[in-house]
Amino acid sequence: MVKNGTVSRNGTQYEQLASEYLIPAAPLLDEAATQAHNLYNRALYDVR
């Protein structure tokens, strides 16, 4: 099962990205991908 993170200001875009990169068979990679997306979204928020 793919875990989709949610970001309040662009949740739909984040779920689309998460569905492409999160791998159900590897929980450690899921966690790393989630953290990477969170950092990326935070960086975009800081740039604005």
- Per-residue pLDDT tens over the stretch 3-36: 555 545 544 554 555 555 555 556 777 788 889 9
Return the residue matching tokens 């990326």.
Answer: 40
pLDDT of residue 30: 74
Q: What integer is the mean pLDDT of 37-42?
A: 92
Integer Cα distance of 25 and 15 in angstroms: 18
pLDDT of residue 28: 74
Integer Cα distance of 33 and 39 in angstroms: 10
Instruction: Give the 3-state secondary structure of residue 17.
Output: helix
pLDDT of residue 17: 52
CB neighbours of residue 33 within 10 Å: 19
Domain coordinates in residue numbering, the chain: 14-47
Phi and psi of 6, rounded to 5°? Answer: -125, 135
